[in-house]
Amino acid sequence: MNPRVDPHLEIWHWEIPLYLFLGGLAAGILFFAALSFLLNREEKASTAVRITPHFAVVAILIGLLALLLDLNHKAYFWQLYTTIRLQSPMSWGAWTLMLVTPLAIIWSALHINTIFPSWEWKGPLKQLEAFFSQNKKWIAWAMLLSSVILGVYTGILFSAFNARPLWNTSILGPLFLVSGLSTGAAMNIILSRDHAERSLFAKIDIGLIGIELFLIVHMFMGFLASTQVQIDAARLFLGGPYTAVFWVLVVGMGLIFPAILEILELKKFKIPAAIPAILVLIGGLMLRFIIAYAGQESRWLY
Amino acid sequence: MTSRRQFIKISSAGLGSLLVGGGLRAASQILVPDPDQLSIDLIRTPTYCEVCFWKCAGWVYKNKDGKIWKIIGNEEDQHSNGRFCPRGTGGIGMYYDEDRLKTPLIRTEERGKQSFREASWEEAFEYIAGKMETIAKVHGPECIALLTHGSGGKYFGQLLKAFGSNNIAAPSYSQCRGPREVAFFSTFGEGVMSPERTDIRDTKCLVLIGSHLGENMHNGQVQEMSDAIDKGTSIITVDPRFSVAAGKSKYWLPIKPATDMALLLAWIHVLIYEEKYDKDYVEKYTFGFEQLKEHVRDMTPEWAYGITTLEPGLIRKSAIEMANAAPAVIIHPGRHVTWYGDDTQRERAIAILNALLGSWGRRGGFYNPESIAVPDWPHPEYPKPNRTWKDAFPGQYDLVSSSLASGICDATIPTISKACNFKGWIVNGTNLIHTFPDQQKTIEAIQNLELMVVVDTMPMDITGWADVVLPECTYLERYDSIRNSPHRKPAIALRMPATEPMYNTKPAWWMAKELANKLGLEKYFSWNNIEEMLDWQLKQVGSSLEEMQRIGVKTFDRSWDDLYMAEDEEAEFLTNTGKIELYSTELAEAGFDPIPVYTAHEEPPQGYYRLIYGRAPMHTFSRTSNNPNLTDLMDENKVWVNPRIAKLWGLEQDQQVYLENQDGIQSKFPVKVRITERIRWDSVYIVHGFGNDNKKLTRAHGKGASDADLITRVHIDPIMGGTGMRGNFVTFQFEPSETTTGS
Amino acid sequence: MRYAMAIDTKKCVGCSDCVVACQTENNVPIGHCRDWVVEVLDGTYPQLEMELRSERCCHCENAPCVRCCPTGASHKSDGGTVLVKPHKCIGCGACIASCPYDARYPHPDGHVDKCTFCLHRVKEGLQPACVATCPTKCMYFGDLDNPRSDISRILKNRKWKTLIPEAGTNPQLYFLI
């Protein structure tokens, strides 16, 4: 009986779901920043382009710290960057972050004046800033692409494990991507002072929540139509120990309720915009935690 | 034929009286250039295992740092065939256990309080010698007894005989296999011995009655059972529990507990009345067939059905299965057989079945083991004791060949009727608190002692009751006497230290010799050191210490080619009639039933379940209960409960309960419930050796329940004094009772 | 060369000798194990059937642990044996999560640890420690590419199964039934 393996897997604790949540959040923020810029909506969505990406940098750095804490052999983490292993989601994640992190930092650096108006780059950094400013369009494209990869990766890290039937569904990639985008949109709602921008992201968020709900239903339909082990996995949420926490906290409080609030707000009801957005963030975090823990409890029986 | 039997008698008599001792020299280490060994296997020394009494011979390997690394079997050894069991492999845990006894201890408060001070060896010996001399002066030297179940007991036995007492007993007789030895002696004129003379590897049908080989990890027997399975042997298991062996059986007879005798008699009935017995064998070698035939006339499978709950068809089919395999069939006598108090008679029925099938002395049945005579180091004749333990039981147990450990315990409690009161115990390598049933009686006996010495490697429950605790070094750190057990071929094995003893621990031979010096008995221990003595002994049988250090095990050719009886041999058996006695004249003379009779045993009252206990393959009683390697495999016992009963009581898997017996005695500690179909609804099962109450056992303390706590009703076998322990019934309690004494 | 192991469930008595032999041979820290024993019981009293088997890494031909390792610490070695290089392992736990047999565990030193088929012994011409010690001789180890090896012969002559073949791992640990 090995600890953290028996009687069921407990190899991943809070670090991995937090890391996946923050990765998804960063992906969502950077996606909307890049997209808004490329669609020439920089002024209309100025918060999304200029302010929120700074939080993406913070999210990524905390996420990386969580990932490092999760490693049991921390001193050897650099081994991740000695090789590229195309079949390993962990390797994909390491290299994607290698790409996304500098992009996010550069993007934030380009917009640091929005937060600190008196900030001035000096010496070679000033030259560097000038260079990146000229190529901002390319950086935006790279960010758009890599943020989608990052968002999908947060789900694929789980879904690549056929040993854990709950995780072993390709829906998890799109689901986590959409959830990441939704939390990114929520961040924009929280940070934006501009009503028009808030409304724009509220509309986007409602759409994303709709897609999420569709994906969740689709995921369970898939499980129930699959083999016994996946039926058993689905039962963790359909009468099993995770039923209440998933349907109430994630689907209810994290998706449906905030969506209703956002719709009401769009219909001019007086609702502080931050409330549904915060609920979405909490829901996104809970989703990662629950999927991480329940997945480790689901297994092949033999 | 006769010469062989005399020979066996001589050699087995020699077994008990090996003389060993001496001074410890640095262990010699042998470099192994053997090509079939790993290049990393640098150093190995021979040993034989002390984790159980099977005493498999093996090799102790050390790593590059000179630390003990692993133990593996010696391929030359017939006990292990180069393969150790989990306990033997995990024997290194005995050495590395940080809870070991580390220095001599002398009690500072009342007995049982576990309050000791550290003492020097000199001081400990002074204390013991002083008390022994006082007891000898006031009560006589016979009033000191040795209770032993470890190799070191040999030397203390020597000491006691020199001192003038031959009250030397092993609980392995009266608490374990005594009834079968008496029964087989009265039937065949010979015992079953250890290792058992069962020819399992060549048998075609193996019948196990409550014997759970595989869980009961008697290495050689388990190996041979496996070989037999490979050859397609059919196994028949009689057990209220679906044992591992039952899972490998062609027929499993899920018998109602305590009714085995009815089944055995019905089997005898089928064999006789369906004429399936070995007619030539019975006619040629046995005595009393007609009486037996008459005796079992009405004991049909239908009769037994009402008693055993076993379907008559199954009883018939299994009997025919045995007969078809005969004579290559073994109705296994079992090993721990002190169950219901009529155990000698049940073993007699087993012996009779084997006789009817002609398996005694036949290939695939029971072979004739042989050992060689290893002479003792010459010593003056021992003084003749005035009294023995038997004087406490006038007119009883005349058929008993060994001392009764429980008899000594009984005779320690002063009563008007018991003539011999014991005043001193030396306890070596046996945790009597768990070994004897009825703990309160054991403690009462101890409280009547003037001297209580415990020699052990671990602080067991029994050490808490000692006046003086002598810390023995483990078997990996010491020499011991030559292992010389009977087997298919005579063989000897050497145990030598793989390393210096840890802490302030010493081998038992050193303790005995030092005590002898204190008591003025040094002439009985006249060798300078144990190597000198072993070397002398080994040279008498054509080997030497140097050779044995190199090879570990030496196998000799048999003196006679009589592993099995020849086809038409005119055999004479060492019984009154010279025949195999189906009708026992010996038992008749002593006033017992000459042919076994079925008697009904008490059944559990409403809400109670029969307490059945047994073994787990990774533990030897409580001896291994704190072994770090073995507790890693199993660190507590659980009470097995049938799902129907669990439902009735609302029990859940792994729920903790207390067991309480028919006398209101509760287990000291709670035990987890294991709900399993593998146990009958009228019984519960726990593995023996858990529920230890010594806090110094950091891994074992308070883990699980002790069956010994709960066995307060003992059914004494009137023939040989065995303590029948399976007549106790338990129920479930969810709270500890006020009298529960666990700490 | 293709190493494989077979366990005869008809002979295994579930004694766990394989576990403790592996622990001592390979200095597996107490509290951890590279192999273990499983009891599977079917039926209701007294119609029962029981299977006992010693399990360990299946050294899968299609090993998910090797696939998902981000550093190449988990790799295929001689005869298809799946091994871990401790100095390349970052202890991310992905391989542990990827194994349907739960055959890997986090070693207290940080890296992941698992059965090696005792390759250090096999290279010396010895059997793995568990096979060499098993009192019931219920374990067989050898090269499947050699038709005369014990393992090839026993798999040819006996009925066998593997664990979760539907997981697509193509395990090389066989159970004789």
Q: Which residues of C touch A81 (CB under 8 A)?
A: none
pLDDT at B389: 85
Q: Which residues of C touch A83 (CB under 8 A)?
A: 70-72
Q: Could you tell me the pTM of the whole model?
A: 0.92
Contact C135 B632 (CB under 8 A): no
Query: 3-state class of B606 per DSSP?
Result: coil
Grade residue B740 by pLDDT with cuts at 50, 70 and 90: low
pLDDT-above-70 percentage for chain B: 93
Q: Which residues of C touch B226 (CB under 8 A)?
A: 11, 13, 135-138
Give me the residue spans of the domains in chain C: 3-61+115-176
Pairing assessment for the beta strands C47-55 and C36-44 based on DSSP bridges: antiparallel
Question: Per residue in B235-260, pLDDT tens?
Answer: 999 999 999 999 999 999 999 999 99
CATH 2.40.40.20 fits B609-733, yes or no: yes
Is residue B742's pLDDT more than 70?
A: no
pLDDT at B452: 97
Grade residue B43 by pLDDT with cuts at 50, 70 and 90: confident
- Write the CB contacts of A117 (distance below 8 Å, at least 6 apart in sequence): none
User: How large is the average pLDDT for residues A85-98?
Assistant: 92
Is residue B266's pLDDT more than 70?
A: yes
- Write the CB contacts of B198 (distance below 8 Å, at least 6 apart in sequence): B192, B221, B224, B330, B332, B365, B366
Chain B's closest residue to C134, CA to CA, is B83
Backbone conformation region of residue B153, classed left if phi is above 0, alpha if psi is from -120 to 50, else beta: alpha
Q: Which subunits sit against C, judged by 3+ Cβ pairs under 8 A?
A: A, B
pLDDT at A257: 95
Task: State the complex-level ipTM.
Answer: 0.95
Q: Is the CB of residue C144 less than 8 Å away from at least one CB of chain A?
A: no
Grade residue B17 by pLDDT with cuts at 50, 70 and 90: very low
User: How large is the average pLDDT for residues A159-166?
Assistant: 92
Residue A178: which domain range? Answer: 15-297
Q: Which residues of C touch B633 (CB under 8 A)?
A: 16, 19-20
CA angle at residue B95 from B90 to B98, to 5 degrees?
110
Lowest mean pLDDT among B224-228, B414-418, B655-659, B687-691: B414-418
Grade residue A215 by pLDDT with cuts at 50, 70 and 90: very high
Write the residue in B70, B227, B244 that is nearest to C13 by C-beta.
B244
Question: Per residue in C92-112, pLDDT tens?
Answer: 999 999 999 999 999 999 999
Q: Which residues of C touch A3 (CB under 8 A)?
A: 31-32, 105
pLDDT at B741: 52
Is residue B10's pLDDT more than 60?
A: no
Structural domain tally of chain A? 1
The crossing angle, in degrees rounded to 10, of helices A195-224 and A228-235 is 130
pLDDT at B39: 44
CATH 3.30.70.20 fits C3-61+115-176, yes or no: yes
Is residue B18's pLDDT more than 60?
A: no
> What is the interface size between A and C, counted as CB pairs within 8 Å?
125
pLDDT-above-90 percentage for chain B: 83
Give me the residue spans of the domains in chain B: 183-368, 609-733
CATH classification of the domain holding A52 = 1.20.1630.10
Burial B516-554 (b: 16+ CB within 10 A, else e): bebbebeebbebebbbbbbbebbeebebebeebbebbbb
pLDDT at B728: 96
Min Cα distance C108 → chain B (Å) is 16
Pairing assessment for the beta strands B715-716 and B723-724 based on DSSP bridges: antiparallel
pLDDT at B7: 38
Average predicted confidence (pLDDT) for chain B: 91
User: How large is the average pLDDT for residues B94-111?
Assistant: 95
- Write the CB contacts of B251 (distance below 8 Å, at least 6 apart in sequence): B234, B236, B237, B314, B317, B318, B321
| Residue B454 bridge partners (DSSP) | B427, B469
Contact A73 C111 (CB under 8 A): yes
Chain C's closest residue to A300, CA to CA, is C100
Give dist(CA B533, CA B24) in Å, integer. 12
Tell which C residues from 50 to 69 touch A, by Cβ distance under 8 Å.
64, 67-69
Q: Return the structure tokens found at C107.
A: 């070693």
Contact B73 C133 (CB under 8 A): yes
pLDDT at B419: 65
Is residue B37's pLDDT more than 70?
A: no
Give the CATH architecture of domain B183-368.
3-Layer(aba) Sandwich (3.40)
Q: In terms of pLDDT, which residue wins out, A117 or B367?
A: B367
Tell which A residues from 53 to 92 touch C, by Cβ distance under 8 Å.
70-77, 79-80, 82-83, 85, 87-91
pLDDT at B24: 34
pLDDT at B112: 82
Chain C's closest residue to A89, CA to CA, is C68
Write the residue in B223, B229, B618 that is nearest to C10 by C-beta.
B229
